[in-house]
Amino acid sequence: MNDVSIIGLGQTEVKEMWSTSIRHLAWYAIEAALDDAHVSKVDALFVGNMAAGQLSNQMHLGALIADFAGMRGIEAVTVEAADASGGAALRQAVLAVKSGLVETALVVGVEKMTDQVGSPVTAVLSSTLDADYEAIHGLTVAGMGALLMRRYMHEYGLKVEDFANFSVNAHANGSNNPLAMFRNRLKAERFANAPQVATPVSLFDAAPSGDGSAAVIITSHERAQDMMPQPIRIVGSALATDTLALHDRKNMLHLRAAEISAKKAMEAAGVSHDDIDLFELHDSFTVMAALSLEATGFAAPGEGWRLARDEEIGKNGRIPISTFGGLKARGNPGGATGMYQIVEVARQLRGQAGDNQIADAKVGMAQNLGGSGATAVTHILSNR
Please provide the distance, in angstroms rounded to a whole number, between the alpha carbons at the two ends of the chain. 18
pLDDT score of 118 more than 90: no
Model confidence at 306: pLDDT above 80: yes
Distance CA 229, CA 43 (A): 23
Query: What are the pLDDT digits (tens) for 134-154?
Result: 999 999 999 999 999 999 999
Return the DSSP state at 200.
T
Domain with CATH 3.40.47.10 in the chain: 4-115+210-232, 119-204+235-382
Tell me: pLDDT of 199 over 60.
Answer: yes
Q: What is the pLDDT of residue 16?
A: 96
Cross-strand bridge partners of residue 215 = 10, 108
What is the tens place of the pLDDT at every residue in 77-116?
A: 999 999 999 999 999 999 999 999 999 999 999 999 998 8
Contacts of 267 (CB under 8 A, 6+ apart): 236
Of 348, 356, 384, 38, nearest to 236 (Cα)?
A: 384
CA–CA separation, 368 and 378 (whole Å): 7
pLDDT averaged over the chain?
A: 97
What is the mean pLDDT of the segment spanning 166-173?
98
CA distance 117 to 119: 7
222 in the Ramachandran plot: left (φ > 0), alpha (ψ -120 to 50) or beta?
alpha
Please give the share of the chain, as a percent, with pLDDT higher than 90.
96
Local confidence band at 117 (pLDDT 50, 70, 90 cut-offs): confident
Global pTM reads: 0.98
Whether 209 contacts 121, CB under 8 Å: yes
User: What pLDDT does residue 229 have?
Assistant: 87
Rounded mean pLDDT of 4-26? 97
pLDDT above 70 (res 1): no
**Which class would CATH give 119-204+235-382?**
alpha beta
How much is the pLDDT for 2?
73
- DSSP at 81: B
Please compute the mean of the pLDDT values over residues 162-184 and round it to a whole number: 97
Q: Could you report the per-residue pLDDT of 331-343, keeping only the tens digit for each?
A: 999 999 999 999 9
Q: Which CATH architecture has domain 4-115+210-232?
A: 3-Layer(aba) Sandwich (3.40)
Euclidean distance between CA atoms 13 and 178, whole angstroms: 8
Residues forming beta bridges with residue 133, ordered by sequence position = none
pLDDT at 230: 86
Checking if the pLDDT of 165 tops 70, the result is yes
Residue 280: beta bridge partners?
Answer: 366
- Give per-residue pLDDT as tens, 242-294: 999 999 999 999 999 999 999 999 999 999 999 999 999 999 999 999 999 99
